[in-house]
Structure 1
């Protein structure tokens, strides 16, 4: 038995001790206010980035590249992971969470620019991202280095995922769709671990967002207004 699993079980025992009473109100049903779609990168602590330790508050989805798109024989649709809480638990806010230095965006960028490939399961995920990121690769400012290009594409990917949700008939018009970037690499110049709002219901202008949402004006920022 690897020590990693033993450590996990020990930490779970501590978790269970702390959370004994926290499930009292949500044992039979859930009505989370928000569904978040995060990258499954180990550095993105999906509940902790919001300071959340209350069961039932946030419906959390995770995959490489924070994708909201699911590929089917009939075409691309909103992923069931994201759609479920909106359709069945009354959730009215969706937050797409990209992050600085995203590995899935990096791999997609490499596939589009250098033709690099990966294992079939990973290729499937990248193939879903490619058509949404490819236009952004061609629009990148010419003076960017590789790191800068990838972080610009992180924002671009968040924008495309938000756009897909807004364009889908499966997401009602009264559902708020927000795009953010979680930064732990000093890309935005704030504190490590801060979330930066880059898109609200399709609006990406920093100036406009700050004017429309003064309560969060200090959290609105972008690297790229294309």
Structure 2
């Protein structure tokens, strides 16, 4: 059974598009300056519940080695987020995937399942509220290639948005940080891509 390469590519693009749209918005609330908020928020969204993002960590993807079985089931995702807002299907190679989407507290959560087993997941339009502690020096000196995702989160904390997908070609995870970075404007971000569990590519914008 073979999943086409386009599956992870299409899924992983969601986080980039959504984060870009979120981070360029400016707060128009005249009372915003009274609070020292570091969360990147949209014009109309209130402070987001961190549990929306942290629950996403409980969604596990299957592996090709296990015939794409053992990923989080639909009922297990419902236990985290309730009933999905939408359900569609999409072709992937010779099979069809079920795609479910939730919209909670301004964030969008999406999972793709093969025979009730998650093989792709994404969360977008979310930003934590936390202090700006990550500098360009940390980015330059503490993020060498081949770090695992867990090792990176010990340095940077949990990413604000992320997406992950598996296929017969392997596993890819894309993560973006925006809310704990030191920089001049709200377009600052770090993007990291992990292939088969190891950091393989990184980029940043606006760090100082």
TM-score (norm 2): 0.29
The structure with the largest strand share of the pair is 2
Could you say which structure has the larger radius of gyration? 1
Higher RCO by CA contacts (8 Å cutoff, separation 6 or greater): 2
TM-score (norm 1): 0.28
